[in-house]
Amino acid sequence: MSTIIARDRLILALDVPSSDEAERLLARVQDQIVFVKVGLELYTAAGPEMVQRLITRGKRVFLDLKFLDIEETVRRATARVAAMGVEFLTVHANRKALAAAVQGRGESALKLLAVTVLTNFDSQDLREMGIQRSVQDLVTARALLASEVGCDGVVASGEEPAILRPKVGPRFLIVTPGVRPAGKDVDDHARATTPTQAISAG
């Protein structure tokens, strides 16, 4: 794999309930981090306007909305995200939803990331959903599906890159949420890792 500088590997999660709190968090890191994640909470509070402000200020935006709906809805919504200038968008790893998102982004620079298995899920959660396979097996199957459909990468826990990288190749993106410094609270992530572990895993 080509060398990637540290600040391009790190994505700051703006998991806060208001634009004011997001601004305070950004002020603390200033230009040390250029990649930021906007999830459901902040997007619901501050909307597309917050995303546009971030992009105008030179931030690279990862919009983590985990689309999953009928194909036409996903296609149109993805087209709107692409028009905003967002860099990454998440879509749940469902074949029809992923294919619709690929169609919706058209020729734009938007990169699509398939959400494999949420990082707060474990094997017991899968069994309760009627899925009789391990988390790692399901993550692998969904990563291969995402690659087949034309996505640019996946969202997977820091435990999975070492398994996925040989199967998906060096150019396929693997974004790992739930990354915390050693000793820090992992919140509700059942499969969390440290930055060093995540990078070393691929």
The predicted-structure confidence for 105-149, as pLDDT tens digits, reads as follows: 999 999 999 999 999 999 999 999 999 999 999 999 999 999 999
Residue in 37, 66, 96, 167 annotated catalytic: 66
DSSP for 150-194, written as a single string: T-SEEE--TTSHHHHHHHH-TTSEEE--SB--TTS--TT-SS-B-
Question: Which of 3-17, 35-49, 128-142 bottoms out in mean pLDDT, i.e. has the lowest?
Answer: 3-17
Specify whether 66 is catalytic: yes
CATH number of 1-115: 3.20.20.70
Q: How confident is the model at residue 4 (pLDDT cuts 50, 70, 90)?
A: low
- Within the chain, all domains assigned CATH 3.20.20.70 are found at 1-115
Q: Which residues pair with 61 in a beta bridge?
A: 36
83: amino acid identity, one letter: A
Task: Classify residue 110 by its DSSP letter.
Answer: P
